[in-house]
Structure 1
């Protein structure tokens, strides 16, 4: 590009910048007259402002040129904007982009160039489950008042966020803020919501954006509940200070050396946001911090002055726009601690009547931890748990307070009793954030529903093969797997240093400030000491810089690091041989253990307070050993190798331990997870890797359910937040969604499950009820075919599933009375029965049902059954807790029934195809014998109806859809009712 081209490009940038700035309020307008006006006012009359010149400039500009960035930012913002009054088109569509082009007056050639360089981002956006609300966020209401959001968005852009990523964050944060109450409204309203992200996926960025937009809108007191630990609170405080408050609000006329960040590397490298002056002196408003990085909330020494918000017009309430938009905002980050919150409540009470006027935003980070009331609601005198009680007090004190919880594990929150007005149930909205670009989540460590046979999986096509290494206690002698993990940590450290020397991206990756390994086996501090000693021994016996160590590292490099990186390095530098990497091993060894301390034990706040594990204060290349302190909220920066052996009893706890999730720019190919497999606990075989895969399925199914039900029907939401809990699933019997004392909520009336495999599990235990159910099914079993039928069908992943079963047809009019007579524990089957009755009686979409009795392939577990003494297979299943079983069917039993019901395409198996019919459902019967009854069955070879659970699964005809696509009907359960159920579908 010539100097003349550069100069004209610079002039064009100035003019286009001014034009697009002028369209912030109006939306897209004709470019030609606007260009002429601004070119004159800027003294750029000689600049070629034709569309041809613009096209050429865009085409010739470097990918990172400000002109291209300017248009990428603006077009993305217009693409994402919802409720745009200048277009009725849907956001993130070709139609929206075409409407923008039309309003700008661009010709076909210009449109083609722009859409090639800046394609429409057709991302799905956040999923919103919401009550109906009154819109108050308009373009006009934001004019002239936005200060902190644009500053924050600009900071993110300067840190390398793409325009698309910033626009996505803008959109997601706006979905939250628009559902808060209007801070200027005369009538107070408390909105309560929940934002569901992914573990270590940038939830803080979202709530920072929400806070920025909320204070711009008029919220003047922001209370962030920043976890239960000092280190988590301090992390959140620093992040908000750095990216939202900014240097001027931190200093407030104090000298740089007096700042609480005077020794912070990012502060001294000018990475904290700058406003260019105190915001109040620049026509905006200040943020007054009531907590600092080092200091949690403390009783205010000089009365309550710091909390009393000034009023410009004393005769008007604070929420009057005349007062609100001229007052400073107060920000505090408070630990979830009873004593600390008690001090805050005590101080707030001193404000008196002003509390009724302050628009307050409460952000609860990790809202499923400590915040939820776990007291038994069925006990009449039960007191609220400590933290929940203090949050409840805050909400009662401030009638204009809004509560927004943030979590990656939402089940505890959605199981809160919605009728408890003092609790934190997200009655107004639940928002599920998109999975961020570049995020390594559970899908990056599991081959979820992969259609590639296990024997054909490679480092290139298998996530598990690339990133996961098994740790089997029975095979792990002399800490062999732990030694390999340490070796991998040294090798990946050398790889990072190699990339630091590789030059510009993508080959190089800049400077890696942190490189860490996490070892997590126990929550006990004594175990941490023992493990740290073991790691020290492995480290000093490793010989990493000598021939023995190099021989081990060479073998691991050739077998693991080199082939994985060759397949997954995505352009980053990969050494051609171990010899090319070897010179960097010594430097890696020095960075990790040069100070003779390669290990940091993190099992208390003191570890971060003295700086050992403080990633903000210094670069850390260490092995971290810990337990609970490392399992929730605490971000382990630079995490590359994880050695994980600790189990947990519920999904929420286990998921929060997944510190290996996150953003791994420049080293995704180097990430390794060493995880426990098939360990006996005395009660069950625990496979941690299997457990995390089950969590992934539970989580993704929950998100998919939210997405499905977020579609409006007749302009109204299908479900409200109070109706969400029954959408929570559970794939492993022993791994509950969350703690049992957090599982209270609503009841389904009907679940429309056309073409879906449904498996009720809440069977009774009394001999009378079991006998009645068994005798109800015996005539059906007696009527089935004399010989077994072999069914074959490929499942949704393309895997061929085959099994044998006795089979027969049953008309719907005979099935209904049978189903109605069955005894259940609780109301689990009632919503499904309501659906079956509707498609039989109301819509005639189910004519008959194929009844199957699947049989084992081998001769074991067979017994005579019923008056004819017919021999059938029985199934060994245990209840996960009274009265619920876990999964009863087997995966191979599901594909053929789904095909018969029309939910899967044909694989041309003639036997299965013989039974396919549009109005046919399928029921699979499973005589279940619980473990304590095995002996009697095996001794006599006869199934006793009083000890047999006649379990079944069903698939309704896939064609039995409602025209309006409504899938569920609910009724709420009042917590005062004795029969209020625990929902656990």
Structure 2
């Protein structure tokens, strides 16, 4: 590109900056006319035509890149726009759709060639946005009614893009999620005080802090002038949160407030010294904005204010008007404090606030509660304790909310079950009565599902490092072996050294490694919460390190074997383009540098547990680079981010899903080393052991969590413009896949109730079958006549998936059962955990007796293609049986086979026809499908093979069902609740089950 061409593009870039900034209220307007108008105004000597714009976009200069970034940012904003902001122009189109983009292009008046070019360079991001369960609310946000001063949100956006390197899509995702929160808070200028309460559900270590930083930025811009962030229960977490907010939102000028750099509380901070803290290029109040005054610092929690209460008092410019009047709000500085959830700290804050009681009713306040399911929830049993006092932190939160009638409470958590079990009728508590928002799983995030093969269609003997997450990332700890020789722990430590060497190798060889991706490299060892155990374990770790011989021939051979059998094949399959050493000899020169970073100071282990004798505050990821083995318990199991975590060794069990998930520190973002991640975890080593399979526990949690999120997404769809459910109706959506693993601690579940689960067209598979012989015999007796009455010859079923073209085929015996007959049978069944099937039974009763939305049930008994695994039951006739084993207690894992499901979905009306004649013969209006699986557990299979008969007292008659797709109920809602709150009144009135 010539200098003249570059100058033309630069001029065009300047014009487009002006044009897009000038589009009134953010509404897309005719582009060519606007560019031509500003070109005349500025006397710009440049071709302002649309063709010149296309030519500029197609170039390869730095100016072209800047022009493309400008349009990517603007188009993303229009693509994502929602709520009142779009009412005047979006023509009813949904955000993140091709239809929305078409409306934008139409309003811009773009030519087809320009549209095609922009769509190619800036495709619509169609990834799902946040899921919102909400009460009706009065919209007050949006361009049609601008409010406040846009200062901190634009600054935060710039920081994320320019300093942290976030993409436009990622920034827009964050902005959209933050907006969904702020728009459901009360208008800070409203004359009528309203206190909203909400909950935001993210994933463990997935960026919740970034989200609530965005919420704070938008809230203070809108007029909220007191922000209280409850930063966890530990000093470590509170300080971590304070620093993030100071660095990314508050900014240098608000921190310094006229003092010299060396007097800052961050004077020794590496990022402060390198200029990575946000800068406003001047005090905001002197540049048309407003200041944020910190009432806490990184090292100092909230303390009683000795200087009277001036720091909390907000001066009113117009004395005769209330503070919430815009003429006062827009001139006032905001106050920010990050406080620990500690009774004494919160007592000081409450006491100081009471001193300015006359002003409290006028202060728009935002309370952000990080890790809101910990300490904040009242765990007093209401039925046992009568009018007993609340638990300490919950009591102080209630006092705080009582003092601040304009306070908006927003809880953040990755484990929401404790919060949604709060009594909805307790107005003094923190139940999220106004909104519950589920954040989407971020791109690049490595969560629990990435360590499991959930519902994989790949047979176990065909799984590889490439197609199996379990094979790639999971390594089992054998408890019996470990007690004798620490073999698993040594192997985990060896992998920690090998992955460290690969990181050093990539630093020197791979230009694609993200900046500072390897600043930290850590291994987590988590066996116990007890500090006494940590002392013993630290000794074991130091001994293993000293005996490792990483620079000796013996150590090299051990590393070579692990490299060739584990690290190399996994990285070949999953390195995603990052450099991988071709052999151990190529990696070997980097091992010395890696071990020096880890143990060169003769201290390869850092303890993080609060024991001052052995913890020296060395796990400060902000102040220095850390390549260490981290050992701890409670401090490492909630909120605290273990940076650079690559190898985890985990054996600590917990009795509820919330606690276990919070201990999953191996979840998070692993840019540049995802293929190196390994998890050594306790498994169910032998029959009869008291040890629980921790890996199985995390899989169950994943299923519980995904079930919860999927149901929220389904129920978030509005019906006739109104919400299907409100947050008060959410608790029954919580499921439990393992009997020993409750969703949260028992003292947080006093208000949980069961519900009806409506599942039209969905495959449902009960798994909680009884273990007692009498119960099994009873169930077999109920199903035997149905099984014996099926067709004498099997029919062939097939269905081809539309998306993949994959053909699923099987043969099955068939029969028809009347709805009433099936209902009588199902009511009589015995269960190992009755509560698992009860909500489904309520639904089946309703569509049978109340709405009459099922005409009949097709019974399928799949038969094996080969002659094996066949046996007789009550007659000489033989049937196929299935070998399955329970995972824990009464619960099996998956019983059905994936190939059986598509044809059943088609017959029930959930899938379109693929043209298979035999399958289509069974399709009928209002027909459901029941699939039978006679299951024989491993200890009884030899007897079945020997005798050729199925023992009714040893047979599990398992089944799955799909209700007709049309069986939605009378009101087309997805759920009907039987949930009640402490007022003993139904949240939703339900129909009687006394049929």
* TM-score grouping bracket, smaller chain normalisation: 0.7 to 0.9
Tell me what 1:399 maps to. 405
Question: Which residue of structure 1 aligns with residue 705 of structure 2?
Answer: 699
1:427 matched to 2:437? The reply is no
Counterparts in 2 of 1:281-320, with a 5 A limit?
281-320=286-325
| 1:320 Cα deviation after fit | 0.9
CA contact (8 A) 1:607 1:613 kept: no
Query: Counterpart in 2 of 1:579?
Result: 585
Query: What residue in structure 1 maps to residue 490 of structure 2?
Result: 483
Please name the residue that 1:956 is paired with: 963
1:617 equivalent in structure 2: 623
Shift of 1:624: 0.5
Residue of structure 2 in register with 1:87 after alignment: 90
Which of 474, 499, 504 is residue 506 of structure 2 equivalent to? Answer: 499
Deviation digits for residues 303-353 of structure 1, max 9, x if unmatched? 111111111111111111111111111111111111111111111111112
> CA 1:764/1:720 → structure 2, altered by over 3 Å: closer, same or farther?
farther
- 1:207 to 1:978, Cα distance in 2 relative to 1, 3 A: closer
Matched with 2:215 is 210
Which residues in structure 2 correspond to 1:650-669 (within 5 Å)? 650-669=656-675
Q: CA deviation at 1:427?
A: 1.0
Match of 2:120 among 87, 110, 116: 116
Q: Assess if the C-alpha contact under 8 Å between 1:801 and 1:893 holds in 2.
A: no
Task: Provide the residue aligned with 1:25 in structure 2.
Answer: 25
Counterpart CA distance in 2 for 1:606 and 1:232 is 17
Which residue is equivalent to 2:847?
839
What's the counterpart of residue 77 of structure 1? 77
Aligned match of 1:414: 420
Within-5 A mapping of 1:142-541: 142=146, 145-158=149-162, 159-379=164-384, 380-474=386-480, 478-502=485-509, 504=511, 506=512, 512-541=518-547
* Contact 1:802–1:893 (CA under 8 A) maintained in structure 2: no
SS of corresponding position for 1:25: helix
Structure 2 vs 1, CA of residues 458 and 24 (structure 1 numbering), >3 Å: closer, same or farther?
Answer: farther
Give the superposition deviation at 1:382: 3.0
CA distance in 2, matches of 1:826, 1:450: 28
Give how far 1:469 is off: 2.1
Q: Distance in 2 between the 1:46 and 1:144 partners?
A: 38
CA contact (8 A) 2:6 2:61 kept: no
Alignment partner, residue 933 of structure 1: none
> SS of 1:146's equivalent?
coil
Contact 2:815–2:859 under 8 Å retained in 1: yes
8 A Cα contact 1:747 1:970, kept in partner? no
* Separation in 2, partners of 1:110, 1:61: 17
Counterpart residue number, 1:936: none
| Aligned mates of 1:451, 1:111 — CA distance in 2 | 40
1:145-187 CA-to-partner distances (Å, cap 9, x unmatched) read 1100000000000121001111111111000000001111111
Counterpart in the other structure of 1:967: 974
* Structure 1: gaps of 5 or more residues: 931-940
Q: For the structure 1 residues 5 and 911, does the alpha-carbon distance in structure 2 shift closer, same or farther, using more than 3 Å as the test?
A: closer
Residues 815-824 or 32-41, more deviating: 815-824
For the structure 1 residues 744 and 792, does the alpha-carbon distance in structure 2 shift closer, same or farther, using more than 3 Å as the test?
A: farther
Return 726-735 or 826-835, whichever deviates more.
826-835
Provide the rounded CA distance (Å) in 2 between the counterparts of 1:550 and 1:874: 47
Does residue 648 in structure 1 map to residue 654 in structure 2?
Answer: yes
**Equivalence map 1:507-906=2 (5 Å):** 512-604=518-610, 610-679=616-685, 684=690, 686-745=692-751, 750-758=756-764, 781=784, 785=788, 809-815=816-822, 832-833=840-841, 835-841=843-849, 843-849=851-857, 886=891, 890-891=895-896, 895=900, 898=904, 901=908
Report deviation, 1:783.
6.5
The 3 A distance-change label for structure 1 pair 779 and 39 is: closer
Residue 461 of structure 1: CA displacement?
Answer: 2.5
| Residues 288, 330 of structure 1: 8 Å contact kept | yes
How many Å separate the matches in 2 of 1:386 and 1:642?
34
| Kept after mapping to 2: 8 A contact 1:468/1:674 | yes
Cα pair distance change 1:167/1:9, threshold 3 Å: same
Question: How far, CA to CA, are the matches of 2:597 and 2:752 in structure 1?
Answer: 55
Asked if the contact 1:509/1:666 (under 8 Å) is kept, the reply is no
Separation (CA, whole Å) in 1 of partners of 2:932 and 2:147: 64
Distance (whole Å) between structure 2 residues aligned to residue 980 and residue 682 of structure 1? 44
* Residue 104, structure 1, aligned to residue 103, structure 2: no
Pick closer, same or farther for the CA change 1:190–1:620 going to 2, 3 Å. Answer: same
Q: By how many angstroms is 1:115 displaced? A: 1.2
The 8 Å contact of residues 738 and 888 in structure 2, kept in 1 or not, is answered as: no
Separation in 2 of the partners of 1:744 and 1:953? 31
From the superposition, tell whether residues 792 and 394 of structure 1 become closer, same or farther in structure 2 (CA, over 3 Å): farther
Q: Secondary structure at the match of 2:479?
A: coil
Q: Deviations over 1:347-380 (max 9, x none)?
A: 1111112111111111111111111111112121
Shift in Å at residue 434 of structure 1?
1.0
**Structure 1: distance between partners of 2:542 and 2:74:** 54
> Bigger shift: 354-363 or 643-652?
643-652
After the TM superposition, which of the residue ranges 85-94 and 751-760 deviates more from structure 2?
751-760
TM-score (norm 2): 0.87
The alignment partner of 2:598 has SS state of helix
> 1:90–1:757: structure 2 CA closer, same or farther, 3 Å change rule?
closer
Match of 1:133 among 131, 137, 141: 137
Greater mean deviation of Cα atoms: 237-246 or 692-701 = 692-701
Please state whether the residue corresponding to 1:519 is helix, strand or coil.
strand
| Aligned pairs, number | 959
Distance verdict in 2 for CA 1:683–1:548, change over 3 Å? closer
Distance 2:936 2:382 in 1: 34
Within 2, Cα distance between the matches of 1:754 and 1:693?
26
Distance 1:962 1:325, change over 3 A: same
**Partner in structure 2 of residue 11 of structure 1:** 11
C-alpha RMSD of the superposition: 4.2
CA displacement at 1:873 relative to structure 2: 11
The verdict on how the C-alpha distance between 1:347 and 1:144 changes in structure 2, with shifts beyond 3 A counting, is closer
Q: Distance in 2 between matches of 1:726 and 1:793?
A: 36
How far off is 1:746 after superposition? 6.3
Judge conservation of contact 1:500–1:509 (CA < 8 Å) in 2.
Answer: no
Whole-angstrom distance in 2 between the partners of 1:414 and 1:421: 14
Could you tell me how far apart the structure 2 residues matched to 1:251 and 1:279 are?
Answer: 12
3-state SS, counterpart of residue 665 of structure 2:
coil
Cα distance 1:818–1:28, how it changes in 2: closer, same or farther (>3 A)?
same
Instruction: Note closer, same or farther for the CA distance 1:173–1:607 as it changes in structure 2 (3 Å cut).
Output: farther
Shift in Å, 1:756: 3.3
- The alpha carbon displacement at 1:563 in A equals 2.5
Using a 3 Å threshold, how does the CA distance of structure 1 residues 538 and 61 change in structure 2: closer, same or farther? same
State the TM-score, normalizing by the size of structure 1: 0.88
Q: Which residue is equivalent to 1:56? A: 55
Could you say what secondary structure the match of 1:139 adopts?
coil
